[in-house]
Amino acid sequence: MTMGAPTSARRPLDVTVVLFDDGLSSTAVMPIEIFYAAGKLWNILHAKPERPPFRVRTVTIDGEPVRSPYGLSIRPETAIDAVTHSDIVIVPTSGLDLDLKLVEHSALLPWLRRHYAAGAYIVGVCMGAAYLAEAGLLDGRIGTTHWAVAGDFVRRFPQVRWHPELFVTEDQRVLCSGGVGSAIDISLYLVEKFCGHEVALQTAKALLLPMPRLHQTQSGYAVLPVSRAHEDARIGQIEAWLLENFRAEISTQQLASRAGMSEKTFVRHFKAATGRLPAAYVQALRIEAAKVLLEHENRPVQVIAESIGYSDLAFFRSLFKRATGMTPQQYRAAFAPISVRGHAPMEFHVAPIAAL
């Protein structure tokens, strides 16, 4: 990424963080604390002069306090209309009922457009990207969001070039991040962009935070559906059978015979119902099973690969990395609890399709 010059010799940049009712407060609070700490906390801890490069303020649509779904109330400094200038605007998550929230917060949309036109960087954290897309700021641009809502966002905002596998995107002063924890990633990314790597690193160290995950992907975090909803009973029966037998070597002809169809007809019906070809479907089941085992067992990766139907370790590693963006070892390091290392192997179950 291209870094801006450090801001110590310039005026502090104005950061405006929007607050919503019913949102996950951390997607607003983490940016507030990171921008507030930049140039300050590290210096305080080392008895050096404070050099804050940012001024942070909080706003709501009407200036009134907001309340999270778990009862946390936050009082803003002011209403959005009182803000005449901002260099950076942070839009966090709101409630999951996006249809309702986009209407409730419709006054935010022209306000975002005005600040973007005036030169501000506009940032959507997790589902906050929906407000950027609804305002038209992401039209023709790259964006990301939480993997679980990515499909809905693709349908709602087809003009956006969605990349839900990424944690952070930036395209012409419009930035998005995927997932709650990515509030940290995108905030430190901006600290680094405007203040340089050293200030960002000091900020991360002072707060005991990791530096941004710019070269990782979300796909390892996603429990993606193996199949989409459908009403093809014969294909549903095949899917149920595969849940119990995905470890075995299975040919498409065997599946077609089990379904009472010709191979060509079966492949057509299976792809129409599930969105995947049979071989890709089996691979997806195996990868989901591998994730469960890597999260809960300390057996060697070779043994896990063999237990789900892959004798070729290199081939399994290649498939796993293509599906998750991580090697099996990286996935285990990211998601397995420390206590697992001392546990004996456990039984596992691949969840039914409806629960995946």
Return d(Cα 341, Cα 157) in angstroms, integer.
44
Return d(Cα 59, Cα 266) in angstroms, integer.
56
* Mean pLDDT, residues 327-350 taken together: 62
* Mean pLDDT, residues 173-194 taken together: 91
Q: State pTM to two decimals.
A: 0.68
**Is the pLDDT at 28 greater than 80, yes or no?**
yes
**Is the pLDDT at 123 greater than 60, yes or no?**
yes
* Mean pLDDT, residues 133-137 taken together: 97
Return d(Cα 144, Cα 128) in angstroms, integer.
10
**How many other C-beta atoms are found inside a 10 Å radius of the C-beta of residue 196?**
18
Q: CA end-to-end span of the chain, whole Å?
A: 36
What pLDDT does residue 203 have? 93
Q: What angle is formed at CA 27 by the lines to CA 58 and CA 224, rounded to 5 degrees?
A: 155
* Mean pLDDT, residues 88-115 taken together: 94
What pLDDT does residue 220 have? 62
Average pLDDT of the chain to the nearest whole number: 87
Please state, in angstroms and as integers, the Cα–Cα distance from residue 176 to each residue in 57, 138, 140, 205, 274, following that order. 20, 10, 14, 24, 30
**Is the pLDDT at 345 greater than 80, yes or no?**
no
What pLDDT does residue 2 have? 35
pLDDT of 296-311, one tens digit each? 888 999 999 999 999 9
Residue 95: which pLDDT band, with cuts at 50, 70 and 90?
Answer: confident
Q: Which positions ≥6 away from 310 have C-beta within 8 Å?
A: 286, 316, 319
Q: Is residue 87 within 8 Å of 68, Cβ to Cβ? A: no
Q: What are the structure tokens assigned to 56, written together?
A: 């942070």
**Is the pLDDT at 337 greater than 80, yes or no?**
no
**Is the pLDDT at 356 greater than 60, yes or no?**
no
pLDDT of 208-227, one tens digit each? 888 777 666 676 656 555 66
**Is the pLDDT at 245 greater than 50, yes or no?**
yes
Residue 22: which pLDDT band, with cuts at 50, 70 and 90?
Answer: confident
- The residue type of 183 is A
Residue 153: which pLDDT band, with cuts at 50, 70 and 90?
Answer: very high
The more confident residue out of 2 and 239 is 239
The more confident residue out of 107 and 201 is 107
**Is the pLDDT at 354 greater than 60, yes or no?**
no
Residue 244: which pLDDT band, with cuts at 50, 70 and 90?
Answer: confident
What pLDDT does residue 355 have? 32
Lowest-confidence segment of 63-67, 272-276, 340-344 by average pLDDT: 340-344
Residue 115: which pLDDT band, with cuts at 50, 70 and 90?
Answer: very high
* Mean pLDDT, residues 72-99 taken together: 94
* Mean pLDDT, residues 159-180 taken together: 89
What pLDDT does residue 214 have? 67
Sign of the CA dihedral with 193 first, then 198, 202, and 208 last:
positive
* Mean pLDDT, residues 245-251 taken together: 92
The more confident residue out of 55 and 330 is 55
**Is the pLDDT at 58 greater than 70, yes or no?**
yes
What pLDDT does residue 338 have? 59
Return d(Cα 351, Cα 225) in angstroms, integer.
10
* Mean pLDDT, residues 155-165 taken together: 91
Q: Is residue 200 within 8 Å of 192, Cβ to Cβ? A: yes
* Mean pLDDT, residues 150-177 taken together: 91
